[in-house]
Chains A and B, each alone.
Chain A
Amino acid sequence: MKIDPKTFVKDYQLNVCIQCGTCTGGCPVKFRSPLNMRRLVRQSHIETDPSPLFKRPELWACTTCSTCSLRCPAGVKNVEFIMGIRNYLANKGEVPSTIRDALENTFLQGNPWGRFRDRRADWAKDLGVKILGEATTETLLYVGCAPSYDPRVQTVSTALVKIFQKADFDFGILGKKESCCGNEIRRMGEQALFKKLAKDNTNLFKKSGIKRIITISPHCFNALKNEYPDLDIPVQHYTQVIAELIETGKLKMPKELNIPVTYQDPCFLGKQNQVFDEPRKILTSIPGLEFAEMERSKQRSLCCEGGGGRMWAEGGTEGTRNGEIRVREAFALGAKVLATSCPFCLLTLEDAVKIVGLTDQIAVKDIAELVSETMD
């Protein structure tokens, strides 16, 4: 399918732009790259053939956090526009080499890191987790790529299993049959591969007879909930499930955690999907935990820069990382733990803690890890 950039004005409503600059004003990478959304929209609108504009490397700096399109008062589809440009480039084969490898890996092995497909469920080997197909259950824990393979994020997966098991909550995983959800794949421009993953995963979910899906990553949550065209099974993020378990009294947290904690809203959970309350409800229910809110939170939360394929991009940005800014904000607040509920936030913020040299002052933890600590 050939993509004609001349249709972008209509496709992404570039002609309704009033040049107010709200998009660029809220962009989390505007100080880190030459990406200027207001200028891009304007130039793409007035050029007869905008395709030469799309050769600019800064188009790969966008994290697809969606602050611009959510704040746009006129209704320009800024982030869809960026994804459209990337789709145009991907179809021509013109993507940065690290993005190329991530896309090829997903096509072959079902995950962007190219890890061996058969090892996807190795993390769950000795945990007594039901594997769909071998056992039956109505609830699927869709694990996702980073929680399956990344050693740091695997601890979130195992913490979540422990929580569910302690609460007698019945669930299963797909094991090595699970494939990438495609959220980042779509954002890196591979719309056709995303459609294939969505179709294959939807068929697999339907065949497994499940009635409910829980995701670990907000990125998987977003794809499954909003972008799978034929999926009619309800999807929840795990924080929503834990909050329910706490509310219904099924989950007990016996141990006190006497630590000051603040929370980073992941873009794909918070501003894009309006899940703000459940993570806070969990944190404030943990006995002893002192919760404090950072000045920029909820809709105004600062993107960690892990989305939009940035986990597989190299360079393209310079200067202080948003993660460093965020860690310093949390530290200034007196927090000993910067909590989050997203694998990418966890990785980018933990890197940032090391960069700013605060490893013995502040830790980055997933909410599931904190809840699990109350059960030791």
Chain B
Amino acid sequence: MNIAVCVKRIPKTAEADIFIEKDGTDIKKDHLVFHLNDWDGYAVREAALLKEKYGGEVTVITVGPEESKEVLTRCLAMGADRALRIEGPPTQDGHLIAKILAESIKNQSFDLILTGVQAEDDNCGQVGVSLAQMLGLPHAAIVTHIEINGDKAKVKRELEGGIDEVTELKLPAVLTIQTGINEPKYVSLAALLEAEDKEIKDLGMEEIGFTSGVSVDTKIDQVFFPPVGKMAEMLKGNPEEVVTQLTEIIKKKKG
């Protein structure tokens, strides 16, 4: 079972102070720490578990700048065998990223291609399903369980309202992996340092077949903070005063 996992390096924004760049098209990132997209971490762990069960090789692929190597190293420490970085154009265009991934994957023989459901930064959830369409492969999105039976994969998909859908797909197939499908292992610093010695292959756009450039279909004009709502009221004072005010408000609302 040869598996490809597509991953992304993203900034950690929870709890961070967020500022917008001068040109208004992105947030400032120089003070942020970066890590492997949470969903992709589950996908890599799932690939490693499938490898343990069925054998084969796990290849991790990312489209991104030089710094993206750090997440590939993490994936190698998590059990991936090979890593590939494609130096793509700086873009948030999920459709284009899918196109680049499809070009790099189409001539390789993978039984399974995994992506995270979405990325923590833009939350678009486009790449996995677009990639399946471009490769002409069956796909299932938001997968929470995988069973391989011969040349078929039986998967559970998470639907709204707590319902699971069970689907069977013919391999090769593309699956987008939901968090919680497994319990990611801790990746120790010792394991990361060991993985740093493993090779990461770098390819340019021309090397994977984009000889005449690419068109970017999505361009971000402006990013902005959500407008402050009128319903929120910040209570001021020490805990006792805040509690008194709060109980007054609750009493009033209760009528």
Contact = CB atoms under 8 A, between A and B. Distances in A.
Pairs of residues from A and B, 3 with the lowest C-beta to C-beta distance, nearest first: A93-B185, A192-B189, A100-B186
Interface in A177-217: 190-193, 196
Given A97-B183, A118-B16, A119-B17, A196 B33 contact: no
Interface size range on A against B = 20 to 34
Nearest to A115: B15
Summarize B's interface: helix, strand, loop or mixed: loop
B189 A94 contact: no
B133 interface: no
Contact of B33 (A90, A100, A108): A108
Contacts of B17: 116, 118-119
Contacts of A117: 33
B186 A95 contact: yes
A196 B186 contact: no
A350 to B, nearest CB: 15
A108 B31 CA distance: 12
A108 B191 contact: no
Interface string A240-264: 0000000000000000000000000
Nearest to A188: B186
B25 interface: no
Given A117-B33, A118-B16, A94 B185 contact: yes
A114 interface: yes
Contacts of B183: 97
B186 A93 contact: yes
A190 B189 contact: yes
Given A92-B185, A108-B35, A114-B15, 17 more contacts: A90-B188, A91-B191, A93-B186, A93-B187, A93-B188, A95-B186, A99-B186, A100-B184, A107-B189, A108-B33, A109-B33, A114-B14, A115-B15, A118-B17, A191-B190, A192-B193, A193-B189
A193 B33 CA distance: 17
Contact of B191 (A93, A97, A118, A196): A93
B12 A1 contact: no
Interface in A66-116: 90-95, 97, 99-100, 103-104, 107-109, 114-116
Interface string A256-274: 0000000000000000000
Interface in B159-209: 183-191, 193-194
Contact of A1 (B15, B31, B190): B190
6 contacts: A92-B185, A104-B187, A107-B189, A118-B17, A192-B193, A193-B189
Contacts of B12: 108-109
A92 B48 CA distance: 14
A107 B186 CA distance: 12
A90 B186 contact: yes
B190 A91 contact: yes
Contacts of A118: 16-17, 31
Most central of B184, B185, B186 by chain A CB within 10 Å = B186
Contacts of A108: 12, 33, 35
Interface residues of B, number: 19
Nearest to B193: A192
B15 A116 contact: yes
Summarize A's interface: helix, strand, loop or mixed: helix
A196 B189 contact: yes
Most central of B17, B33, B188 by chain A CB within 10 Å = B188
A103 B186 contact: yes
Given A116-B15, A192-B193, A91 B188 contact: yes
A109 B34 CA distance: 10
Contact of B186 (A1, A104, A114): A104
Contacts of B14: 114
Given A114-B15, A115-B15, A116-B16, A190 B33 contact: no
A327 to B, nearest CB: 22
Contacts of B191: 91, 93
Nearest to A94: B185
Interface string B11-47: 0101111000000000000010101000000000000
Contacts of A93: 185-188, 191
A109 B191 CA distance: 19
A108 B34 CA distance: 8
A117 B12 CA distance: 11
Given A116-B16, A116-B17, A192 B186 contact: no
A94 B17 CA distance: 33
B38 to A, nearest CB: 11
Interface in B94-131: none
Contacts of A95: 186
A93 B188 CA distance: 7
Contacts of A116: 15-17
Contacts of A94: 185-186
A242 B37 CA distance: 47
Contacts of A109: 12, 33
Contacts of A91: 188, 190-191
B115 to A, nearest CB: 22
A97 B180 CA distance: 12
A103 B190 CA distance: 13
A82 B238 CA distance: 44
B66 to A, nearest CB: 19
B202 to A, nearest CB: 25
Contacts of B190: 1, 91, 191-192
A117 B187 CA distance: 21
B183 to A, nearest CB: 6
Nearest to B31: A118
A253 B190 CA distance: 50
A362 B189 CA distance: 44
Contacts of A191: 190
